[in-house]
């Protein structure tokens, strides 16, 4: 299975090319092709915006036409939110991702200029139109947002690494919690907190409920008891 090529057609700003590269690499896509970038290539504004996705920018290829950029691709998708007079299948990013994973040959996904999007002639070369379901009253995605939505859906079929998880310490044993509760109750008794007498059982139940709710681990219980011990010591004068 070959990862799809991301083709930016007539991109206008170097910053947006860099942000698109960042979006790609986040989800395992590394092949970017540029069709007639307005400000030429390489663009000094792209690197800082890529935030470390330099390998995508360094490998980026430049073409004069869309036809040249997709000449080796069998499955081409054109991203657009506008209705056009073209009779083509319309798919969501999720549907396109499934097709790309299953299809033989190379796949390419076309993204248009930031201001105007793909022209009808650009869309005409594609096998299908890729459209993101979006608020019909505000169908405005920037270039990097569009790329990241498509790249994310494709990545679901990949074994990308998850962020490192740190296992939490196990909850403290009940005896430790009982010791904490008793410690606090003893200090509150000395401070005259429990009053009136008929409310003491209910107040103690409430305190126990509060102290057992978070699921303290053993270290946290020891820390809290250390705090209580420090508070209970007479202050030097």
- Kindly report the CATH number that applies to the domain delimited by 5-155: 3.40.1280.10
| pLDDT class of 49 with cuts at 50, 70, 90 | very high
- Region 73-80: mean pLDDT is 94
Residue 111 pLDDT more than 70? yes
Calculate the average pLDDT of the chain.
88
Residue 198 pLDDT more than 60? yes
Residue 168 pLDDT more than 80? no
Global model pTM greater than 0.75:
no
Q: For the ranges 11-20, 41-50, 110-119, which has the lowest average pLDDT?
A: 110-119
- At 8 the three-state DSSP class reads strand
Residue 81 pLDDT more than 80? no
Output the pLDDT for position 170: 79
Cα torsion for 228, 229, 232, 237, to the nearest 10°? -120
| Tokens standing for residue 226 | 């250390």
How far apart CA 75 and CA 62 sit, in angstroms, is 20
How far apart CA 215 and CA 85 sit, in angstroms, is 61
Cα of first residue to Cα of last residue in the chain, in angstroms, is 76
């Amino acid at each position: 299975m070959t990862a799809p090529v991301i083709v930016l057609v007539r991109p206008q700003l170097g910053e947006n090319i860099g942000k698109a590269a960042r979006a790609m690499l986040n989800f395992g896509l590394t092949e970017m092709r540029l069709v007639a970038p307005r400000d030429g290539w390489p663009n000094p504004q792209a690197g800082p915006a890529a935030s470390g996705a330099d390998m995508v920018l360094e490998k980026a290829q430049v073409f004069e036409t869309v036809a040249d950029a997709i000449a080796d691709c069998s499955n081409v998708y054109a991203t657009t939110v506008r209705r056009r007079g073209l009779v083509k299948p319309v798919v969501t990013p999720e549907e396109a991702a499934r097709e790309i994973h299953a299809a033989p040959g190379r796949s390419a996904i076309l993204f248009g200029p930031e201001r105007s999007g793909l022209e009808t002639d650009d869309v005409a070369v594609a096998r299908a139109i890729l459209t993101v379901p979006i608020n019909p009253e505000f169908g405005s995605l920037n270039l990097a947002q569009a790329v990241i939505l498509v790249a994310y859906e494709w990545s679901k079929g990949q074994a990308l690494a998850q962020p490192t998880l740190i296992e939490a310490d196990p909850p403290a044993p009940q005896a430790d919690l009982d010791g904490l509760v008793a410690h606090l109750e003893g200090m509150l008794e000395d401070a005259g907190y429990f009053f009136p007498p008929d409310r003491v059982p209910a107040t103690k139940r409430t305190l126990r409920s509060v102290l057992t709710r978070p699921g303290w681990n053993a270290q946290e219980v020891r820390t809290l008891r250390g705090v209580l011990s420090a508070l209970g010591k007479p202050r030097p004068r």
